[in-house]
Amino acid sequence: MSVETRLLEAFRALSPEKQIEVLDFAEFLKRRKAEVQTNRPSGLCKGQFTVPDDFDDPLDPSEFPIP
């Protein structure tokens, strides 16, 4: 039995109130997928700034004392 068939059978067995909840959740999943696909592409600011060579070096603890 396919996933679609199983889903439809389970959906039809639900009360109308629960069917609305399932529909709301399915629409939420569609929106979330659309949001993920509209993220900015990597490299969008390429060439607009440079990262210093020592960017990943540990910070000097004396410059950031713990209160």
Its pTM stands at 0.48
Q: How many whole angstroms separate alpha carbon 5 and alpha carbon 36?
A: 28
In 1-67, DSSP assigns E strands to none
φ and ψ of 57, to 5 deg: -70, 150
Reported as a single tens digit per residue, the pLDDT across 14-30 is 999 999 999 999 999 98
- Asked if 20 contacts 12 with a C-beta cutoff of 8 angstroms, the reply is no
Reported as a single tens digit per residue, the pLDDT across 32-54 is 876 666 667 788 888 898 889 99
Residue 7: pLDDT band with limits 50, 70, 90: very high
Sequence ranges of the domains in the chain: 1-38
* pLDDT value at residue 36: 61
